[in-house]
């Protein structure tokens, strides 16, 4: 039978009174209980979790609106969380259950069983031309690619292909917003925030040779 939150609180208080180390088990259980309580009382502004994938351990964060951030394994996850605290609000809490829908969709995607992500998105970290470019990028179908110039044109600025590249480099929700589907004219990979091997891997998942 699962231990109730009140019982966990009691165990923690007794441990503190005794001046002993609560140990990792009680610490983890108490942390989970506090996370559940914070979610129940609406105190969480950003929920996050680390998700294992074939391209490394991703940091994913969501708000009430939807998925707001995906960070690469090569990124500083603590720095990303601090940035979210500044941009969204200080109540940032690890809550893996909130990211379960994304984890399931990512697993299906890498297994070849999903062609389109359905988790809701929170675009609040983007604005202006960057958001226009990323919105158009999100419309590129699975298994298809576009050039930087084509994405710039779709976003309303045909000559701004270099700015489009910068906008794609600022994509806060990679993989789900598929900036890996944007290539240089002629099919060269171009750049990618997660590194070119990751971009190539994602295209291979979708049956695209670059």
For the chain, the helix, strand and coil percentages under 3-state DSSP, each to the nearest 5? 45, 15, 40
The pLDDT assigned to 184 comes to 94
Catalytic residue among 154, 179, 202, 205: 179
For residue 83, CA distances in Å to 44, 49, 63, 92, 137 come to 16, 15, 14, 10, 24
Euclidean distance between CA atoms 204 and 175, whole angstroms: 13
Long-range contacts of 24-32 (CB under 8 A, 24+ apart): 29/3, 31/94
Q: How many residues does the chain have?
A: 210
- Residue 20 falls in the annotated catalytic set: no
Q: How far apart are CA 102 and CA 112, in angstroms?
A: 15
Question: pLDDT by residue (tens digit) across 155-201?
Answer: 999 999 999 999 999 999 999 999 999 999 998 999 999 999 999 99
Using one digit for the tens of pLDDT, what is the confidence trace for 79-132?
999 999 999 999 999 999 999 999 999 999 999 999 999 999 999 999 999 999
Domains of the chain by range and CATH? 1-41 (no CATH), 44-124 (3.30.160.70), 128-205 (1.10.10.10)
Beta bridge partners of residue 171, listed in sequence order: none
CA atoms of 161 and 147, how far apart (whole Å) = 9
């Amino acid at each position: 039978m699962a231990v109730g939150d009140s019982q966990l609180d009691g165990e923690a208080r007794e441990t503190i009174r005794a001046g002993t180390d609560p140990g990792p088990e009680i610490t983890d259980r108490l942390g989970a209980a506090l996370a559940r309580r914070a979610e129940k009382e609406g105190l969480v502004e950003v929920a996050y979790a680390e998700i294992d994938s074939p391209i490394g351990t991703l940091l994913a964060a969501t708000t009430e609106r939807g998925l707001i951030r995906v960070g690469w394994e090569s990124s500083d996850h603590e720095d990303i969380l601090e940035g979210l605290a500044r941009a969204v609000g200080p109540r940032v809490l690890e809550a893996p259950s909130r990211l379960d829908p994304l984890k399931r969709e990512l697993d299906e995607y890498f297994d070849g069983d999903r062609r389109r992500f359905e988790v809701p998105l929170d675009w609040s970290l983007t604005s202006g031309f960057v958001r226009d470019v990323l919105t158009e990028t999100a419309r590129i179908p699975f298994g298809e690619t576009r050039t930087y110039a084509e994405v710039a044109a779709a976003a309303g600025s045909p000559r701004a292909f270099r700015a489009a590249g910068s906008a794609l480099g600022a994509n806060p929700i990679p993989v789900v917003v598929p900036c890996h589907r944007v290539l240089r004219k002629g099919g060269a990979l171009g750049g990618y925030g997660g590194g070119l091997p990751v971009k190539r891997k994602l295209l291979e998942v979708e049956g695209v040779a670059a």
